[in-house]
Structure 1
């Protein structure tokens, strides 16, 4: 998701630099690296994860479906009034080179192989000095943030946070030689009890799939996990009603990307914070020998 945002905001920043309206496809493809079955998932709606209304208020933007309807109507014109299109087949054509282009539509196409088919490449090099990514335009979905507010509220906004990263990183002993041992149940108890007062509400944000993995902490804290709040996205929830309104009644799975957004936002709102790579392990966040980069 971070890679998507890095490229997406590059595109928005380029449109702003060129004083143009950005045409946006709401469909997203989620990488299988973070889906529950390990497979890429196409056709996810941007509005499930981000606040589209705020985005539209923040930058000149039009949804692709609406734009194409108008384009087909405009394109029927013949002669001088017809729409002109400039197709840009490579990221190597810089925003500065397009600044004076008079075409009605500039259509960037990313047909190359990775990493040449990512929009963020447009904002590298000299372009990095002139393109400003509009970070202010990106807010998390209100539907997900309502869940965050509800979870924090049930703990009276008085809780501490523990962020435990395991998953594939804990399995990769070459890049992370200590992570698995440093985030074992016993090791976590030993370190957390030195950092957080006992019997506080403790919210654990984690990618560890085994629910009972943190049970030893329950002898010291009132432990809260995201799965304790499943009713907030069940088929009787407000979130469910609002997302099915987008899909025309088709149920929306509460996927791993949504869980990470909620988990992270609840953790950010905690008082004392214990993090994996700052507090629990000697390993570097990006693997061995990267701590000082």
Structure 2
């Protein structure tokens, strides 16, 4: 009561400037009380509606700011510099998956000694039986001992090699022991075997990554798998309409037109995931255009390139199994056949300010958003701005990088035995701009780089250098201290004899696919992120700020 009375006296008292009886009156008791109540109400309202901006998840207030950010032509390689946006696998929590039990030497049965399998009935002339359980255990032990930086999670049964009775192919699923991301990888290798005079079998040689092609699953076997594993054959064909009845009963959402085409891949993803998020919010199937336009910032010719398939860059098998999507070619073919016969109705929206919340009650078969305004008011992501932000969540977890590209990443890291350090070098136009990055050129020069690396990376280590420098010959002196590797040292993984080339060509109706700039960035980024020590330009190599002077 003491506090209440004191407050009452303060509010109702005759406040004066200068104090004392001779002071000048500041306000009457009714006016002060009303002002106090009004101030409390205003403050309460402001606190309840204020939401601080999250620079990572919330778009800037002005469309021009977001456009500038997403369409950045930065010469840097990774996300902090605006070039590669993280996808679903980058946001997964690896703790639970990494803690899963893996197969160790102690888990493999051993009734033999000295790394050899004992054969009960000795016949030196007989071919080696790849189906022998004891031989299976021998191959598992040999793989675990030969690849100590991996954790093994499942082994497939050994397979005999046609025309080579002294070899067996075997596959396994694995994860690097220090993996940050919880994805599983698939390898299949050929094991060459030798037999001693007493018929004990031992492993004489293990061939390289993906050499045991006899143990690789066929595409139809992989199609029924519930897990998505890097290295397994993909079943990412375009989903066809199941039946006419199912099509007629469906509810669809399509985005048409707009100025998002041929923009940066970050811009495309920001808009595409807005559309997918709205489709999920409305419980509708998203009609997808699988044909992308690759921005000139990723092409060697400096021109935008049409005709790029979504599946070149992203995991469509995972997407179509996790979300309701249909390819627009199939959709419009069926729509042309069925919409009049079945009385399917179209609801047309031509203003991005029409919110998804206002469309919840629409029962028409198809909602079409038409984006016909001028930029930036015709960008798809404008639908998800403003008050829609709190309702539509972009489903980042559904969009993963192409497993064909991730297989190249796995092959590169396997050739380095998953035991390497990595450094990311940003130079290019940034190094030339000394007003914004005054120290970058000097700090990333070969002389300074040798000194910096000496303090941070142990001499003799394998060192992967992720950079967009067109000429890597200037880094030759680094080989005196390290075993250095660049992306182009592994270009056989995407040349005309590679698995990636043949599979991409088949996907592209027999037309060869270029290993373009965005693919290079994706692979370079992912290999860098698998280094044991990762040195970033603006964190570890230079005192300059990432975005220029006075931005640290």
Superposed pair shares fold, TM > 0.5: yes
The alpha-carbon distance between structure 1 residues 214 and 90, as it changes in their structure 2 partners (threshold 3 A), is farther
Deviation at 1:177, TM superposition (A): 3.2
| Alignment map for 1:1-293 (pairs within 5 Å) | 1-77=265-341, 81-291=342-552
Q: Tell me the alpha carbon deviations over residues 56-106 of structure 1, each in whole angstroms, 9 at most, x when there is no partner.
A: 0111111111111111111232xxx42221222232222122222222111
Contact conserved, 1:186 with 1:216, CA < 8 A, in 2?
Answer: no
**Alignment root-mean-square deviation, CA:** 1.6
Q: State how far apart, in whole Å, the 1-side matches of 2:310 and 2:511 are.
A: 16
Instruction: Give the structure with higher Rg (CA).
Output: 2
SS at match of 1:33: helix
Q: More deviation in 164-173 or 46-55?
A: 164-173
Q: Secondary structure at the match of 1:249?
A: coil
Contact 1:23 1:62 in 2 (8 A): yes
SS in 2 for 1:86: strand
- TM-score w.r.t. the length of structure 2 is 0.50
> Distance in 1 between the 2:451 and 2:351 partners?
53
Runs of 4 or more consecutive aligned structure 1 residues displaced over 4 Å after TM superposition: none
Decide which structure has greater helix share.
Answer: 1
* CA offset digits 1:209-243 (Å, max 9, x no partner): 11213223222111010100111011111001100
Instruction: State TM-score, norm by structure 1.
Output: 0.93
SS of aligned partner of 1:13: helix
**CA 1:65 to 1:189, structure 2 compared with 1: closer, same or farther past 3 Å?**
same
Give the number of the structure with larger relative contact order, counting CA–CA contacts within 8 Å between residues 6 or more apart: 1
CA distance in 2, matches of 1:283, 1:94: 43
**Tell me, what secondary structure is at the counterpart of 2:485?**
strand
The count of aligned residue pairs is 288
Cα distance in structure 1, aligned partners of 2:477 and 2:378: 47
Stretches of structure 1 lacking an aligned partner (at least 5 in a row): none
